[in-house]
Chains A and B, each alone.
Chain A
Amino acid sequence: MSSVIKVSHLSKCFGDLVAVDDLSFSVNKGDVYGFLGQNGAGKSTTIRMMLTLIEPSEGDIEIFGMKLHSHRKEILKKTGAVIERPDLYKYLTAYENISLFAKMSGLSISGKKLMEQLDQVGLADRAHSKVKTYSLGMKQRLGIAVALVNDPQLIILDEPTNGLDPQGIADVRNLVLHLSKNQGRTVFVSSHLLSEVELVANRMLIIDHGKKMVEGNVLELFSTAEMVVELQTSDADKTLTSLSGSVWEKYFNGRQRDTLLFKMDKKDIPDFNRFLVGKGEGVLLIRPVHSLEDYFLSLTSNNRHVEAFTN
């Protein structure tokens, strides 16, 4: 599998602050690569270095097999990005914005093609409205349309769902999956929300305080993690009595009103379900939740704050 992005020993210091510390990772062609970390972990700084907005203090970045510092233009021609907020020219229309950035990418795209690009993100009917009249979700979609205008092989999205409503989040998620699965593009997506990344990414990297915590295949990371399983039955007290003395008792992890929480391996869930049904429990719901969230928190230093908050 060829690497689209190869980052080696990347560091960035702002005075005494080490924002990114000896970070190395690689992204393969066709990956949806999740880049995870708490706010302030160094995600945006890393992305800005990958897009030449910030000069690295140390380390190398190779994209499409070329050194970024010496092949900047060639690399950026094949890259599209949305960096944090979808900031565009508010006093221009969506059409004027996308047309302007197409020209800046050295492209001569017909009006029809530009309208198709806007249609792809559901903005064709508002193409000639000024961006200042747009909602955040519409701006985000326009930002993505601008990022795609040069038909990039690599798309870098920095916190693309920040501030969006559930529908907006779902739209972005579907678009990422469409770009990857149907169009074969490589997508590098950063987020501080693990639940978001696990739905779209096939590989991921978690960083904390600028350092790499873990990198790998999402399914593998997922399977090694102990899951929190949510259980709702018709009578929670009776279920707890049924569990008493059984092999499943040791997995019990707590109770939130009528919901019982267990920590167990994903592969054990069917057996657990059979046990409950065998005991005559009316199982209303059984599902793994926040699995990677726990995994994520166990890796990062803010864990203790979350525990304190929960208690």
Chain B
Amino acid sequence: MWKLLQIELFKIFKRPRTYISFGAIAAMILIIQLGLKFDGKSYLQLLMSGISDSFYVPYEMILNGYLVAFVILNTLLIQVPLLIALVAGDVVAGEANMGTLRLLVTKPISRAELMLAKFFASVLYTVLLLIWMAILALFLSMLFFGTNDMLIVRNDVMEQIGRNDVLWRYIAAFGYASVALSTVAALAFLLSVFAENSIGPIVATISIVVVLTILSEMKIPLYDNTVKPYLFTSHMLAWKGFFYSKANSNGQAISGSVENLPAILRSLGILLTYMAGFVTAAVVVFRKKDILS
């Protein structure tokens, strides 16, 4: 299996299109960082317009690497699934389109092994993309903007996290985002099994994610308890929960605490269940599939 995984990774990273995602992420992050570097105060004033009348807001202190990384993640973690679909949607359908799938299936390896190697390669690609994102969004921002306490505005309430209590939250958030985005990769992977051209699964994955995200974000009471809890897209942004601390009696954030860890873990479980379901379905379908490409 390890050998197969190496082969799949070799193929992924030998393709020029793989690097489009890395380039796109670098470009988007640098644009945001440049914007905030030169006009970050205006952005924060807009963001905190609800509370700046009541409180003194020390913008210079707030605009640090941790907050910039948070802004970047909020912006990009909605777009990154599209980049993930670009590779994961191609992983089987692309081979069918090239005609190499029939050669792979005639090698002395089981179809299930082949599929699992391909899926794990897609997951590794996703994780590497997130590591790249973390390096640029977090560490580069820390370098450009310095570090300080992190302020989060939630429901017009400002929460302050001590500078020594931030980094682990980012590591946890990136870990969670890896699972969330791997779920998208699993969906693209499943759709890829049905197609003989990668355009179909890529567009279908993006469409499904967009439609379900809209549904997840809609404020319609009818959907709140009946539909939303069961959509994987409703759980993809639960990484933010790592930045919401419990408060003590004085209203101060408790260092090392997470306000609702069970909710995050429940969301994680739902994403893992979806991922396992998508991958199992992909393997079952592929094992029975007639390779006609």
Interface residue ranges, A against B (CB under 8 Å): 48, 51-55, 72-74, 76-77, 79, 81, 83-85, 87-92, 96, 100-101, 103-106, 146
Contact = CB atoms under 8 A, between A and B. Distances in A.
23 contacts: A48-B292, A51-B105, A52-B105, A53-B105, A53-B106, A53-B290, A76-B107, A79-B106, A81-B103, A83-B106, A87-B99, A87-B100, A87-B103, A88-B103, A89-B11, A89-B14, A89-B98, A100-B7, A103-B7, A104-B4, A105-B108, A106-B108, A146-B103
A90 B220 CA distance: 50
Interface of B: 3-4, 6-7, 10-11, 14-16, 98-100, 102-110, 288, 290-292
A158 B16 CA distance: 31
B108 A76 contact: yes
A53 B289 CA distance: 8
A90 B105 contact: no
Given A91-B14, A91-B16, A77 B105 contact: no
A74 B11 CA distance: 26
Given A73-B108, A76-B108, A101 B291 contact: no
A83 B102 contact: yes
B290 A101 contact: no
Contacts, number: 75
A168 B284 CA distance: 41
Nearest to B105: A53
Given A76-B108, A103-B6, A105-B108, 11 more contacts: A48-B291, A51-B102, A53-B105, A53-B290, A53-B292, A55-B290, A74-B108, A83-B103, A91-B14, A100-B11, A103-B7
Nearest to A49: B290
A101 B14 contact: no
Which of B99, B102, B110 has the most chain A CB atoms closer than 10 A to its own CB? Answer: B102
A252 to B, nearest CB: 48
A16 to B, nearest CB: 16
B159 to A, nearest CB: 49
B271 to A, nearest CB: 32
Contact of B14 (A72, A76, A92): A92
Contact of B100 (A52, A72, A73, A89): A89
A211 to B, nearest CB: 21
B48 to A, nearest CB: 49
Nearest to B11: A89
Nearest to B287: A55
Q: Can you list the 3 inter-chain pairs with the closest CB atoms, starting with the nearest?
A: A87-B99, A53-B291, A76-B108
A85 B101 CA distance: 12
B19 to A, nearest CB: 12
A51 B106 contact: yes
Contacts of A90: 98
A95 to B, nearest CB: 13
A81 B15 CA distance: 25
Which of B102, B103, B109 has the most chain A CB atoms closer than 10 A to its own CB? Answer: B103
B95 to A, nearest CB: 9
Contacts of B109: 73, 104, 106
Contacts of A48: 102, 290-292
Contacts of A101: 103, 107
B106 A85 contact: no
